[in-house]
Amino acid sequence: MAATLGIPAVSLVTEKFWPQGDFVANSLGMPDLPRVQLPHPVAGTGTDNMRRVAETMAERIIAALKGGT
Amino acid sequence: MLTAPDENEAVEMLHALRCTDGLPVVVPTRERVDRLVLASGQDGDMVLGTMGPAGGIATVEKVAVAAVMAGCLPDHMPVVMAAVQAVIDPAFDLTEMQSTTHCTAPLIIVNGPARQACGGITGGFGALGPGHRANASIGRALRLAMLNIGGARPGESDMALLGHPGKFTYCLAEDEESSPFPPLHTSLGFQAEDSVVTVIGAEAPHSVLYSPTGDASEDARCLAEMLAIGISNLATNNAQLRNGAAVVVLNPEHAQVFQKANLGRESVQKILYGYCFHPPELLRSKAGGFAPRGEDRGPVHAFRSHEDILVLVAGGSGLYSMVMPTWCAGPHVNRFVTRPVLLNAFCEIA
């Protein structure tokens, strides 16, 4: 939603949901919508693991927001 | 326009293009589609709205294509149109509901004269089972519209982990004649003579067994407790996510249990609401990542209001009622949506 309004946005999509991310991005007419792939699963893996994932991915998320890959 | 040498090849082509629900469909020829567009009383290119997650434009003609494929008769079209318009309403959160990993499907509840006028939509024995053409075809038409206009395909854009059989078709009428309560739609602000669909994303029906003892007040209390367990037991999204909605389909005998205790629909809803809670410490110990945070000690209610529990009467008479817990997520937290069925706007088919 934010991306459609021109607000810098990045979608965090786990590996198993990556094809759905493609589908949604194409449906929105934004095939190049910035996305960062996370390991699967994230939900239900506990706070400690989520924190590890966040720390690992933070730089990639920032890079995606800046227009990088 | 697709072409095929014969009907069988056309059906196979539609299967190959992933345009079916996995079962054979009626081939949507120009003539058949035009017939249902005519029955809609609307222009074929009239836009009803967009259907997510694909964002497909739902025109009357595309809805008619889905209805033909589902096996609908012209008489069914008013209800199909109303059901599609209901799920298109932003309050329904169709995109999110089609995309979730939860097992949810739009349940279509029909009230008013459309039950008879639109092909005989039943609310009696086996209303959610096989053998009722109008129920089966209308619910299937909505599903095929959600597949082919909304683009919800399993494992790609419809991420339901297992789904449920109601994702093929999920439509019934309220048995107003057997109900001790006013018709459901009159409790939602419509007149009795109106025809209305109430659509809600719902899990598959879960059976609730209760055998009355003849003690009116005890029976009402016990039946309400059993129903409350069904819609908000600890394993449900209703208990863990909270603030959603649920459906209670009373069979006529169970409805009479409440009548004998002088309880109307709203009273039943309020009693159910009162039973649908869990102690926070129980949720904290059982609900994992969805356990409530903080130190609150008060009961954690499954619903925001008694009005979020739809209570209607359908099915044969006996000891089993059915309940449908729900997903309880999306921006509007799984609300039900009502739409009038426009009976007078439709053309006669000679």
The pLDDT tens digits for B109-118 are 999 999 999 9
E strand map for chain B: 47-51, 56-59, 105-111, 171-173, 196-202, 206-209, 246-250, 277-278, 300-301, 309-313, 320-324, 337-340
- By the CB < 8 Å criterion, does B52 face chain A? yes
| pLDDT number for residue A3 | 78
- Residue B288 parent element (H or E): none
Residue B111 and residue B172 in contact, taking contact as beta carbons nearer than 8 Å: no
Chain B neighbors of A20, CB-CB under 8 A: 99, 156-157, 159
Domain residue spans in chain A? Answer: 8-65
Choose the closest CB to A27 out of B151, B155, B289.
B151
d(CA B70, CA B25): 6
Q: How deeply is B198 buried, as exposed, middle or buried, from its count of CB atoms within 10 A (0-12, 13-18, 19+)?
A: buried
Residue B277 and residue B301 in contact, taking contact as beta carbons nearer than 8 Å: yes
Residue B169 and residue B134 in contact, taking contact as beta carbons nearer than 8 Å: no
| pLDDT number for residue B280 | 94
Smallest CA–CA distance, residue B154 to chain A, in Å, is: 10
Binary contact (A24, B53; C-beta < 8 A): yes
Binary contact (A17, B55; C-beta < 8 A): no
Is the ipTM higher than 0.90? The answer is no
Going from the C-alpha of B214 to that of each of B94, B254, B260, B261, the distances in angstroms are 44, 12, 10, 11
The pLDDT tens digits for B1-29 are 899 999 999 999 999 999 999 999 999 99
- Token representation of residue B316: 């044969």
Binary contact (A28, B55; C-beta < 8 A): yes
The pLDDT tens digits for B201-242 are 999 999 999 999 999 999 999 999 999 999 999 999 999 999
Tracing tokens 């945070």 back to the chain, one arrives at: B293
Query: Residue A6: pLDDT above 90?
Result: no
Q: Residue B291's closest CA among B332, B242, B335, B246?
A: B242
| pLDDT number for residue A44 | 87
Q: Residue B113's closest CA among B78, B146, B63?
A: B78
Binary contact (B53, A27; C-beta < 8 A): yes
Q: How deeply is B130 buried, as exposed, middle or buried, from its count of CB atoms within 10 A (0-12, 13-18, 19+)?
A: exposed
Choose the closest CB to A17 out of B151, B159, B289.
B159
Q: What is the DSSP secondary structure assignment for residue B182, as one 8-state letter?
A: P
- By the CB < 8 Å criterion, does B149 face chain A? no
A66 φ/ψ sector (left φ>0, alpha ψ -120 to 50, else beta) = alpha
The pTM of the full predicted model, rounded to 2 decimals, is: 0.95
Other CB atoms within 10 A of residue B264 CB? 14
Interface-testing mutation among B51, B93, B100, B159, with chain A (most A C-beta atoms within 10 A): B159
d(CA B149, CA B350): 30
The pLDDT tens digits for B248-288 are 999 999 999 999 999 999 999 999 999 999 999 999 999 99
| pLDDT number for residue B1 | 87
d(CA B332, CA B182): 27
Query: Residue A69: pLDDT above 70?
Result: no
Chain B nearest-CA residue for A16:
B155
| pLDDT number for residue B348 | 61
d(CA A26, CA B262): 56
Angle at B128 between CA B224 and CA B323, to 5 degrees: 20
Choose the closest CB to A20 out of B99, B288, B289.
B99
Domain residue spans in chain B? Answer: 1-174+183-199, 204-325
d(CA A16, CA B215): 54
| pLDDT number for residue B350 | 60
- Token representation of residue B50: 């967009």
CA dihedral B244, B49, B145, B337 (to 10 degrees): 30
Chain B neighbors of A23, CB-CB under 8 A: 53-54, 151, 156-157
The 10 Å CB-count burial string (b at 16+, else e) for B38-72 is: bbbbbebeeebbbbbbbbbebbbbbbbbbbbbbbb
